[in-house]
Amino acid sequence: MPSLLTDAQRRAFDADGYVLLRGVFDTAETDLLRTAMERDPAIRGHFYNRADAEGGVTRMATWNHPGDSVYGLAARSHRVVDTMEDLLGGEVYHYHSKLTAKEPLEGGAWEWHQDYGYWYHNGCLFPNMATVMVALDPCTRSNGCLQVLRGSHHMGRIEHGLLDGQQVGADLNRVTQAQQRLELVYAEMSPGDALFFHCNTLHRSDQNRSPDRRWTLLCCYNAASNNPTREHHHPQYTPLLKVPDDALRIAGLRFFGEAADQAFLARATAPAELQVPVGTTFRRASAGGADQT
């Protein structure tokens, strides 16, 4: 499948630093992704907590290689990767993915930051990187949906440092000034919607004080031409084997079939010819503290 973007949406991404696409994953696919996140021992066994300054906590799991799990298939799907390549202007590879799980009433906040504020220090020379955030639950203002400052990617990289609490965030003076000029957008999403955003787009989210869970899957990509200058905790250029868009549906037939439990435990769900030789390596980012994502 070619890029999901219309010309107008591509221009919107360039102007605004983000584009929100509705229904990138249909209900069955999103149910499958959500169920995989909830039940896969590889996720459950690698949760760690990320604290905010006011005692809220986001549960997270982070992994480097997309592999053959259902969430790996989503990250490798033509519809997502071709869209990323359209946005970044050429071949991309998977830099890492993560689940950010804000539980009802206790989900933590994220301070204003740019992803490139972290990734710059990983030896990524160019801000030719982006993320897609996929809603697994409804994401609303009340349960802490993502917020972006429209057009902030044009500001370039902003200094980041340790803020009150444990998070690394963008220079607050600069953010305050940017807020006076740029529109604050709440990216409210339904399950299956996807927000593609540039690595220099300032973003944050509120705590979840609502009774509604807010789980999202974030897949991050780097341009193949932007191979980091040094080895670090995320991958160097690794060719990404795309899978057809129906790979998720096929995986779903197995997951919701009789052998569901084994499928979750085995985690190999892509058709054999699409499975990647690299092992899906979950890496545990440093728990709490000033995570460099």
Q: Which residues make up the interface to ligand AKG (CB under 6 A)?
A: 98, 100, 110, 115, 146, 203, 205, 216, 218, 293
> Which residues are 96's β-sheet partners?
220
CB of 186 to ligand AKG, least distance (A): 12
Which one, 13 or 215, has the nearer CB to ligand AKG? Answer: 215
DSSP string, 51-92: E-TTS-EEEEEEES--TTSHHHHHHHBHHHHHHHHHHHTS-E
**How far is Cα 63 from Cα 18, in angstroms, rounded to an integer?**
23
CB 173 to ligand AKG: min, Å: 20
Q: Which is nearer to ligand AKG, 97 or 269 (CB)?
A: 97
Residue whose CB is less far from ligand AKG, 56 or 151: 56
CA pair distance 194, 142, nearest whole angstrom:
19
Minimum separation from the CB atom of position 209 to ligand AKG (A):
14
In the bound complex, what is the minimum distance in angstroms from residue 220's beta carbon to ligand AKG?
8
Distance in angstroms between the alpha carbons of the first and the last residue of the chain: 30
**Of 77 and 216, which CB lies nearer to ligand AKG in the complex structure?**
216
Closer Cβ to ligand AKG, 4 or 199, answer by number: 199
Nearest-approach distance from CB 146 to ligand AKG, in angstroms = 5
- CB atoms near residue 291 (< 10 Å): 16
Copy the structure tokens of residue 81: 């990767």
Q: Are strands 48-51 and 203-205 parallel, antiparallel or unpaired?
A: unpaired
**In one letter, which amino acid is 7?**
D
